[in-house]
Amino acid sequence: MHRPISRTLLALLGAGLLGSAAQAAETDTYGWVEKATIEPWGTAVKVKLDTGALTSSMQAEEIETFERDGEDWVRFTVEVEDEETDDVVSKTFERPVFRDLRVRGAGGEESRPVVLMTLCMGETLHEEQFSLEDRDNMNYPVLLGRRTIQDLGSVETTRTFLHEPECNDDSPVKSHSGKEYDEDIGV
């Protein structure tokens, strides 16, 4: 024998289901500015999700290319404001050059080294290609371009800081490094 379900119970069930769906949508939604940590350093920085840029970009100074074991490498210093402490901190990295990016703009054409770096956003580690440039005079030391954004989820253009970086040794890693990139593009 079937008993009718009350409207109140249906409403409560519906609200629970809708609440779960809203939570899932929120998890896959990012603000146009988020906080991330540069790994394995752990320094928290503001990251702008920039739909106008194809390639991601990171603040770098003292960019110096050199050769190691017959391969091109780059040494660079990242100097940023740590969003957790408000202190200006810096760290020097050495990475293999993943590729060179030719950027064309109003000022002409320039070449930038691109390296693989890892960011923690939310509970996920993202390995991404970053072009290195001095972004000292810009508001955001890190830009995530469309090639990374397309794998994150949706971007809510009216909101910021929807995710705190909370990665650990068991965090999933998403690699955006295997994608085909056209070297003759601007960012």
pLDDT digits (tens, 9 = 90+) for 20-49: 333 334 458 999 999 999 999 999 999 999
Residue 48 · residue 31 · CB < 8 Å: no
- Using CA atoms, how far apart are residues 17 and 10, in angstroms rounded to an integer? 10
Residue 184 pLDDT > 50: no
30-175 has which fold? Answer: Cathepsin D, subunit A; domain 1 (2.40.70)
Residue 120 pLDDT > 60: yes
Q: Which two tokens stand for residue 4?
A: 């009718």
pLDDT level of residue 10 (50, 70, 90 thresholds) = very low
pLDDT level of residue 181 (50, 70, 90 thresholds) = very low
The residue ranking higher by pLDDT, 133 or 106, is: 133
Give the model's pLDDT for residue 14: 46
Phi/psi for 136 (5° steps) reads: -50, -35
In DSSP terms, which residues pair with 72 in a beta bridge? 67
- Using CA atoms, how far apart are residues 75 and 73, in angstroms rounded to an integer? 7
SS3 24: helix
- Using CA atoms, how far apart are residues 179 and 158, in angstroms rounded to an integer? 29
- Kindly report which listed range (25-34, 120-129, 165-174) carries the lowest average pLDDT score: 25-34
Q: Rank 3-17, 95-109, 151-165, 170-184 by mean pLDDT and report only the highest.
A: 151-165
Give the model's pLDDT for residue 8: 44
Phi/psi for 61 (5° steps) reads: -130, 170
- Using CA atoms, how far apart are residues 69 and 71, in angstroms rounded to an integer? 6
Model pTM greater than 0.85?
A: no
Q: How far is CA 47 from CA 83, 100, 143, 161, in A?
A: 11, 22, 6, 9
Residue 127 pLDDT > 90: yes
**Hey, what amino acid is at 60?**
A
The residue ranking higher by pLDDT, 132 or 2, is: 132
Express as a percent the part of the chain with pLDDT over 70: 80
pLDDT level of residue 108 (50, 70, 90 thresholds) = confident
- Using CA atoms, how far apart are residues 15 and 23, in angstroms rounded to an integer? 12
DSSP code of residue 3: P
Residue 61 · residue 77 · CB < 8 Å: yes
